[in-house]
Amino acid sequence: MQAEQAGLKVAIKGRLVALVLLGVFLVVSRSADPARAVEFFLAIVFFGLLGVAHYWLIGSRWDRFWIKYLFVTIDIAAFSALVATQPLLDTVDLPQVVTFRNTIFPFYFVILGVAAFSFSPGLVLWTGAMGVVGWLSAFFWTIKDMAVRYDWTDIGPLPTTQHFVDIFFSPNFVGTGSRVQESVALFITALLITAVMWRARRTVRQQLETEAERREISEIFGRYVPKEIADALIADRGLLAPVEKPATVMFVDIAGFTKLTETEGPQRVVRALNLYFDAAGEIISQHRGVVTQFQGDAIMATFNLPLEDPDYASRAVAAAQAVVALVKQRDFDGIHFRLRVGVSSGKILAGSVGGGGRQNYTVYGDTVNLAARLEALNKDYGTEVLVDEATRRHLNGLPCREVDRITVRGFSAPVSIFSPD
């Protein structure tokens, strides 16, 4: 409904533009006859005011589904009345039917084209039908009182040139067949536009329904995996191809969590965890990280995977410090947490794995294992955040205190570990 109302407003604006252009042409072309120019100007103003009235009604409490059909009918009826009653030239005494041999009929196509902007198949079809009725009504009204009139039948099947010229160029030649042919062409055009518009509306509707379904799936799926991963999984039909690339992994764990569960009770701890996870996840997202897993009371997040970010290591450390600062500043459901964070950078293998029809997006490799170990080592060194040498090299001068050099399984040489200040 809103889309159709917007389309109607666009149609009215297009109609106004067409009226202005037509009015300028008619007034200028009749400048030698001021009275005639004024008549055209007043007619244009009348049609313009009709459009303003319709525009004002759209979406108002007085708007009804039939209003748009009414205004199109008034447009065509008024225009057809002018065609049937206004002489082609005031200075020449000719039958009114001569007007129909002028370039008047194309303006019905202009009205039809403007109606198409509404993106309403029903309105376009109605405009075409009313155009036919208006054109033929004006025509038959004009010829009904003609004492003498010629038609195609008076020319005959094998006329001479002189006979054809005498009949066809006579002021009393009405050409009924031509008027009918024009009407058929107008209605066929309306039918074609209606068919195209109906098909386009159906296509757009299907796309909107598909997009809405995709958003709904993404929102539901995003409750269990990060939204970025959910969108990628939906796009790849549930399977993310494995990829290996440089990235940073961050492990965040709550110190003394088991004891908290015993003293505070599982229900309260779960409520506090959910509040904490929401706040920490938001901080990680703000630093372009992606939470790939919640493991009990722990968070595993990745940076530069799957989201590209050239400053991934520094953003990971900044996120770690921000999360630690967060839990120092506030409690969660009345429970105070203390955190330990490990951050490691290097090649990471990521992708969706699983079996039995179930898939899970995960990351693994020595870098992941090192981040987990650094998180645990905070307890031994009395620190809150530990980072490896590979991460420290990307910190752009951020002060770091070397804590130790440790031997890590999977690494050929001891690894220096640091605590960022």
Write down the domain spans for the chain.
2-215, 240-420
| Cα–Cα dist 279/270, whole Å | 14
**Secondary structure element (H or E) that encloses residue 420, with its range:** strand 415-420
Q: What is the pLDDT of residue 205?
A: 77
> Per-residue confidence at 370, pLDDT binned at 50, 70, 90?
very high
Q: Residue 267: left if φ>0, alpha if ψ -120 to 50, beta else—which one? A: alpha
pTM of the predicted model over 0.75: no
| Cα–Cα dist 17/413, whole Å | 77
Four-residue CA torsion sign, 375, 376, 377, 378: positive
Residue 221 has pLDDT above 50, yes or no: no
Angstrom CA distances, 94 to 97, 148, 170, 173, 345, stand at 8, 13, 10, 11, 92
Is the CB of residue 153 less than 8 Å from the CB of residue 176? no
> Per-residue confidence at 48, pLDDT binned at 50, 70, 90?
confident
Q: Which residue type does 413 have?
A: A
The CATH superfamily assigned to 240-420 is Nucleotide cyclase, GGDEF domain (3.30.70.1230)
Least confident of 16-20, 103-107, 166-170: 16-20
Residue 217 has pLDDT above 70, yes or no: no
Q: Which residue type does 47 have?
A: F
Cβ burial, residue 137 (10 Å; 0-12/13-18/19+): middle
| Cα–Cα dist 393/153, whole Å | 96
